[in-house]
Amino acid sequence: MRIAWNSVGAKARRSITPVCALAIALVAVIIASPASANSKYAAIIVDANTGKTLHASSANELRYPASLTKMMTLYLLFEQMKAGHLDLSSRISFSANASSEQPTKLGVKPGNSITVETAINALVIRSANDVATAVGEKIAGSETAFAQLMTRKARQLGMTKTVFRNAHGLPNSQQVTTAADMAKLGIALREHFPQYYKFFSARSFTYGKTTISTHNRLVTSVKGVDGIKTGYTRASGFNLVSSMQDDQGRSVVGVVLGGTSTRARDDQMRALLAKYMPAASKRDRGPLIASATGPAFEARVAGIRLPKNDIPTPDFRPGTELASNEGGDAIAALMAATNEQSRTSNAPTVQAYAAPLPSARPTVQIDGIQTAATVRPKAPIANAPSAPVQAAAQPAVAVPQPQPASNGWVVQIGSLPSESDAQAVLATTSQKAATILADASAFTSVFEKDGSTFYRARFGGFNSKEAAWNACSALKKRDISCYAVQQ
């Protein structure tokens, strides 16, 4: 280990005791060793007053976010609260899908509900996966649709390399981020929602008769640290985003990804904050992350009912975790496709998504969603979520005019806010699955919900429940979400 003693004057060198020298060396070891010894490691320290990067190590390289994902889930929840669609006392119901999420979880049973305030505490302090899914379903109707909103919001906030596939951060090979993107999200949460940011500094909350303490040890052990979030999976390592402010006006947001243990991650963050906080500016130059909101990006809060037993619903379970050396090519291709689409396509695209409810209750109605291309991993992933279907706003093939559905069973692809959107989805699905739908007829079905008009994109002509179910199963194998329902 070499330390730049030449920058210290001779007099200063003589005044440094062996103990001080050892302490300096240890800090240097803590800061330097993760980057060289751990391929998952990435870090960044950003001056939250000026936006200046004070330290970066692999900060723009792709990593898995793990439960840092819940920062975006909370961002979208706060956005709904700020818009007046929800408040702290609003109820969030749990579907069977949400309740079945893997631990860590709150353990809410299907059909039960919690308040938004409890949900926020559970996400920040407990890092509850079941609550994250319930929040996503509450806002967007399904977790798949919510993940699309998350990725779209990430682009609005300048998170150019982040892709979300679920609301909680459980392993999915296509869900990726960078340390730099997570720093932007941490700053955005502070800047855009100061009225709710206090939740990130909470040390515990009570659920029923149980008091649950925070996983974020720096909040309780380092003066000035006021959040934000921890995360861990085997593929990601131990992740942490921290916000720190002092009484002189300095403010930084730090990110450490890929720690080898909770302690190693926390020690690394402590060392980085101690080293770079004194270099931060005392002058606040105003907001750093533009707040991108508006009707085109605002989800309507959707009602959730438990699915009926006799109706197949999309499988939103996360993919099986990949080994650290697997899936790299898929991630690179995914990001390349995402960036290429952003550069070359000016025309809006329409997102097809599966509705979990086979009745007049829609899933999510979102105007103007533009999604990234999806890429299959190198190896199949068990229980991977169905990938969304992309459809050009002006389809290349003719779409049948809306027509009444015949009696019998139909396969529904999505529920869209306009007839042209629904027709575009039908056109793309017909192209992608021509052999499966050769004898089916495409049509749209209009319905009203809470004063708004929506259009179901459907294929009819199935003479039995089995035929419709088989067609839907075949479509899912081609990454087309759907469900079968009797007309």
Eight-state DSSP code of residue 222 = S
Question: Is the Cβ–Cβ distance between 385 and 318 less than 8 Å?
Answer: yes
Q: What is the pLDDT of residue 302?
A: 52
- How far apart are alpha carbons 149 and 293 in whole angstroms? 12
Pick 422 or 339 by higher pLDDT: 422
> Cα-flanking dihedrals φ and ψ of residue 253, to 5°?
-125, 130
Three-state secondary structure call for residue 236: coil
Q: What DSSP string describes 75-127? A: HHHHHHHHTTS--TT-EEE--HHHHTPPSS---PPTT-EEEHHHHHHIIIII-
Any idea which residue has 């069977």 for tokens? 96
**What is the pTM for the complete model shown?**
0.60
Query: What long-range pairs does 34-40 form, CB within 8 A, spacing at least 24?
Result: 34/256, 34/258, 34/259, 34/260, 34/264, 34/268, 38/237, 38/258, 38/259, 38/260, 39/258, 39/324, 40/236, 40/237, 40/257, 40/258, 40/324
Pick 453 or 241 by higher pLDDT: 241
User: What is the percentage of the chain residues whose pLDDT exceeds 90?
Assistant: 49
Which H helix or E strand runs over 349? strand 349-352
Indicate the pLDDT class of residue 420, thresholds 50, 70 and 90.
confident
Any idea which residue has 């609301």 for tokens? 167
99 is catalytic: no
148 Cα distance to chain centroid: 8
**Quick check: 354 pLDDT over 90?**
no
**Quick check: 217 pLDDT over 80?**
yes
- How far apart are alpha carbons 152 and 159 in whole angstroms? 10
**Quick check: 73 pLDDT over 70?**
yes
Indicate the pLDDT class of residue 37, thresholds 50, 70 and 90.
low
Enumerate the β-bridge partners of residue 390: 351
pLDDT digits (tens, 9 = 90+) for 387-411: 333 333 333 333 344 444 445 789 9
Q: What is the pLDDT of residue 304?
A: 41
Which one of the listed residues 127, 243, 430, 481 is annotated catalytic? 127
Q: What is the pLDDT of residue 487?
A: 76
Lowest mean pLDDT among 165-174, 234-243, 338-347: 338-347
Q: What is the pLDDT of residue 2?
A: 37
- pLDDT, average across residues 9-19: 45
Q: What is the pLDDT of residue 456?
A: 87
Alpha carbon separation from 322 to 144, 176, 315, 381, 418 (Å, rounded): 20, 13, 19, 8, 39
Enumerate the β-bridge partners of residue 456: 415, 445
Q: What is the pLDDT of residue 341?
A: 39
| Amino acid, res. 273 | L
Q: What is the pLDDT of residue 34?
A: 52
Which one of the listed residues 70, 138, 153, 476 is annotated catalytic? 70
67 is catalytic: yes
Environment class of residue 380 by beta-carbon count within 10 Å: exposed (0-12), middle (13-18) or buried (19+)?
Answer: exposed
Environment class of residue 441 by beta-carbon count within 10 Å: exposed (0-12), middle (13-18) or buried (19+)?
Answer: middle
Q: What is the pLDDT of residue 49?
A: 95
Q: What is the pLDDT of residue 313?
A: 28
Q: What is the pLDDT of residue 483?
A: 85
- How far apart are alpha carbons 265 and 33 in whole angstroms? 12
Q: What is the pLDDT of residue 452?
A: 72
- How far apart are alpha carbons 482 and 380 in whole angstroms? 20
> Cα-flanking dihedrals φ and ψ of residue 229, to 5°?
-155, 145
Question: Is the Cβ–Cβ distance between 229 and 149 less than 8 Å?
Answer: no
Q: What is the pLDDT of residue 414?
A: 84
**Quick check: 170 pLDDT over 50?**
yes
Pick 406 or 313 by higher pLDDT: 406
Q: What is the pLDDT of residue 301?
A: 55
- pLDDT, average across residues 63-68: 97
Which one of the listed residues 67, 415, 445, 481 is annotated catalytic? 67
Any idea which residue has 């199963």 for tokens? 473
Task: Write out the binding residues for substrate.
Answer: 229
Q: What is the pLDDT of residue 207?
A: 94
**Quick check: 300 pLDDT over 70?**
no
Environment class of residue 413 by beta-carbon count within 10 Å: exposed (0-12), middle (13-18) or buried (19+)?
Answer: buried
- Comparing CA positions, the residue from 69, 163, 90, 143 lying closest to residue 364 is 143
Cβ neighbours for 32, distance < 8 A, ≥ 6 positions apart? none
CA dihedral 124, 129, 133, 138 (to 10 degrees): -40
Any idea which residue has 């999915």 for tokens? 172
**Quick check: 358 pLDDT over 90?**
no
| Amino acid, res. 479 | D
Eight-state DSSP code of residue 429 = H
Lowest mean pLDDT among 259-268, 363-372, 418-427, 442-451: 363-372
**Quick check: 463 pLDDT over 60?**
yes
Enumerate the β-bridge partners of residue 485: 410
Q: What is the pLDDT of residue 425?
A: 83
Task: Write out the binding residues.
Answer: 229
Q: What is the pLDDT of residue 381?
A: 32
Pick 461 or 88 by higher pLDDT: 88
464 is catalytic: no
